[in-house]
């Protein structure tokens, strides 16, 4: 597994999956246009070696394919992590002495993945405690109507002031000047929850912004974990080795020791400024709104650091594959809570929170509605605007097959379930920011108890014997 960002960069370059751009490029708009074209072509990661006005290179699109996303997590396919996750989650108390020993052994293995504290770290090779400035960073302006330049791949570390538990999330930071940025965390994010707890106590919230951790840690920061779950423990589980951490120079926070750059500072308990607009992963601009302000107090970094970034916009972009990793890795968690779920698909057109398609083993009337309601009651999945439920024989990854079943299997009056509740803050269609309507579509075969009095028709299928006969004689037909 990769110790740091640099090892992953070298790995990708050796496999022809990273290209170096050696000519000068502009951090304002030009890099975005290049990256957008590469993403739409399912192209490689890019390392921009000469960003105009800066000495630091920019690496981008590291996770921009299923293959690279799998490599980032040390597996050939993402589903293999799901199998490990399923084993981790099956921790119910077993029968017998040997079963209990097996459970204890598994718990002991999980403990080995907890972060490991070190005293010296590469991320603190250079320390700037006097007059630190953001001006040395090649921060991108991504889209023409963006409100400014944005740090787009920061791992933002905060601590709950009541429990002492650290949290890591990815929240964009708009650069205001050389010492301050916006802190764009949504109301349901753990970072925002820690901020509100600090506000109640009348305190500023210590914040460390990590740029360029190892790829598993970057992914873990994006994962929709339950409140209080340590993202670095998930990263250790994915790496099958603990993440090394070091205490910040001026904060009581632990940061990944092999990161490229650390920005230490605080978010003021009362101050807010206008943040945005920002060309978002929905493919639309999110509007300007007031958000808390991050104040920089210290910078540490490696010698000759690399600046990691991502560009979001109309999909497909790099973030699609981070979302696909979450879909596959966390499917066992959904199945543990909703056992009838067979598979899940979050289509890229739905930008993670607008659409979820699930297949289920249906055995009783109203089961599809029960699944919809259960999903709307689960964490970030609960923000999903459209949930489509199909039978277990439907391949939810095949949108053509899903559409065929939905368009043919539904009676709109009977099979649409409308509710109101929290929606993603980035949903520009809702009448009120963060609150709106959602719809569930039951495209399963209907039972008489569900109001379908007629016999449900069988799908057209050819006899297997005839299919084998045609297979055997295919060359005789002269159709190849």
Question: Which pairs count as long-range contacts for 462-465, CB under 8 Å and 24+ apart, including other chains?
Answer: none
Phi, psi of 62 (to 5 degrees): -60, -35
Contact 299, 336 (CB under 8 A): no
Q: What DSSP designation does 145 have?
A: T
CA distances from 339 to 323, 335, 350 (A): 22, 5, 24
- State residue 413's pLDDT score: 95
Radius of gyration of the CA atoms of the chain, in A: 24
- State residue 260's pLDDT score: 98
pTM of the shown model:
0.92
The residue from 146, 190, 214, 280 that is catalytic is: 280
d(CA 358, CA 187): 27
Per-residue pLDDT of the chain in tens (480 residues, 90 and over written 9):
899 999 999 999 999 999 999 999 999 999 999 999 999 999 999 999 999 999 999 999 999 999 999 999 999 999 888 888 776 655 444 555 555 445 445 556 677 889 999 999 999 999 999 999 999 999 999 999 999 999 999 999 999 999 999 999 999 999 999 999 999 999 889 999 999 999 999 999 999 999 999 999 999 999 998 888 899 999 999 999 999 999 999 999 999 999 999 999 999 999 999 999 999 999 999 999 999 999 999 999 999 999 999 999 999 999 999 999 999 999 998 998 999 999 999 999 999 899 999 999 999 999 999 999 999 999 889 999 999 999 999 999 999 999 999 999 999 999 999 999 999 999 999 999 999 999 999 999 999 999 999 999 999 999 999 999 999 999 999 998
For residue 472, the surrounding DSSP H or E stretch is helix 464-473
d(CA 70, CA 92): 29
Largest interatomic CA distance in the chain? 83
β-partners of residue 295 are 180, 266
Q: Which domains does the chain have, with CATH numbers?
A: 5-309 (2.30.110.10), 338-450 (3.40.1670.10)
Indicate if the alpha-carbon torsion angle 477, 478, 479, 480 is positive or negative: positive
For residue 267, the surrounding DSSP H or E stretch is strand 261-275
What is the signed CA dihedral for 172, 177, 179, 181, rounded to 10 degrees? -20
CA distances from 417 to 313, 368, 385, 386, 387 (A): 30, 10, 12, 10, 10
Is 280 annotated as catalytic? yes
- State residue 103's pLDDT score: 47
Instruction: Identify the burial level of 472 via C-beta atoms within 10 angstroms of its C-beta, where 0-12 means exposed, 13-18 middle and 19 or more buried.
Output: exposed
Contacts of 437 by beta carbon, 8 Å cutoff, 6+ apart: 418, 419, 420, 430
d(CA 299, CA 310): 21
d(CA 329, CA 325): 6
Secondary structure of 181-248 as H, E, C letters: EECCCCCCCHHHHHHHHHHHCCCCEEEEEEECCCHHHHHHHHCCCCCCCCHHHHHHHHHCCCCEEEEC
Instruction: Identify the burial level of 2 via C-beta atoms within 10 angstroms of its C-beta, where 0-12 means exposed, 13-18 middle and 19 or more buried.
Output: buried
d(CA 467, CA 220): 47
- State residue 111's pLDDT score: 76
State pLDDT tens for residues 156-171: 999 999 999 999 999 9
């Amino acid at each position: 597994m990769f110790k740091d960002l640099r090892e992953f960069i070298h790995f990708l370059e050796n496999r022809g999956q990273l290209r170096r751009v050696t000519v000068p490029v502009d951090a304002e708009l030009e890099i975005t246009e290049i990256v957008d074209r590469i993403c739409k072509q399912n192209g490689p990661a890019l390392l921009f070696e000469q960003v105009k006005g800066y000495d630091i290179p920019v690496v981008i699109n590291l996770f921009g394919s299923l293959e690279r996303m799998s490599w980032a997590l040390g597996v050939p396919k993402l589903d293999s992590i799901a199998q490990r996750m399923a084993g981790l989650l099956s921790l119910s108390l077993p029968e017998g002495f040997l079963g209990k020993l097996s459970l204890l052994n598994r718990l002991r293995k999980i403990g080995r993945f907890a972060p490991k504290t070190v005293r010296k770290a590469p991320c603190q090779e250079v320390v700037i405690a006097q007059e630190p400035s953001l001006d040395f960073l090649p921060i991108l302006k991504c889209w023409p109507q963006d409100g400014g330049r944005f740090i787009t791949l920061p791992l933002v570390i905060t601590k709950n002031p009541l429990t002492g538990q650290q949290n890591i999330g990815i929240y964009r930071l708009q650069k205001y000047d050389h010492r301050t940025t916006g802190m764009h965390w949504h109301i349901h994010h753990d970072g925002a929850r820690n901020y509100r707890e600090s506000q109640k106590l009348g305190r500023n919230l210590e914040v460390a912004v990590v740029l360029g951790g190892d790829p598993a840690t970057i992914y873990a920061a994006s994962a929709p974990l339950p409140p209080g779950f340590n993202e670095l423990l998930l990263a250790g589980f994915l790496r099958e080795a603990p993440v090394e951490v070091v205490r910040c120079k001026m904060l009581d926070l632990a940061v990944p020791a092999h990161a490229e750059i650390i920005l230490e500072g605080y978010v003021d308990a009362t101050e807010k400024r206008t943040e945005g607009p920002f060309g978002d992963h929905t493919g639309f601009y999110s509007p300007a709104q007031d958000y808390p302000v991050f104040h920089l107090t210290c910078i540490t970094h490696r010698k000759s650091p690399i600046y990691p970034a991502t560009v979001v916009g109309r999909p497909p972009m790099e973030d699609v594959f981070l979302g696909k990793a979450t879909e596959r890795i966390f499917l066992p968690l959904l199945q543990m809570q909703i056992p009838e779920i067979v598979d899940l698909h979050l289509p890229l057109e739905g930008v993670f929170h607008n659409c979820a398609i699930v297949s289920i083993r249906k055995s009783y009337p109203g089961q599809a509605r029960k699944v919809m309601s259960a999903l709307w009651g689960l964490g970030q999945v609960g923000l999903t605007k459209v949930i489509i439920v199909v039978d277990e024989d439907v391949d939810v990854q095949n949108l053509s097959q899903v559409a065929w079943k939905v368009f043919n299997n539904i009676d709109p009056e009977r099979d649409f379930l409308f509710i109101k509740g929290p929606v993603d803050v980035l949903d520009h269609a809702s009448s009120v920011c963060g609150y709106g309507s959602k719809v569930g579509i039951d495209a399963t075969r209907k039972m008489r108890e569900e109001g379908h009095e007629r016999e449900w028709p069988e799908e057209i299928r050819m006899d297997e014997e005839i299919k084998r006969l045609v297979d055997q004689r295919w060359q005789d037909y002269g159709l190849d």
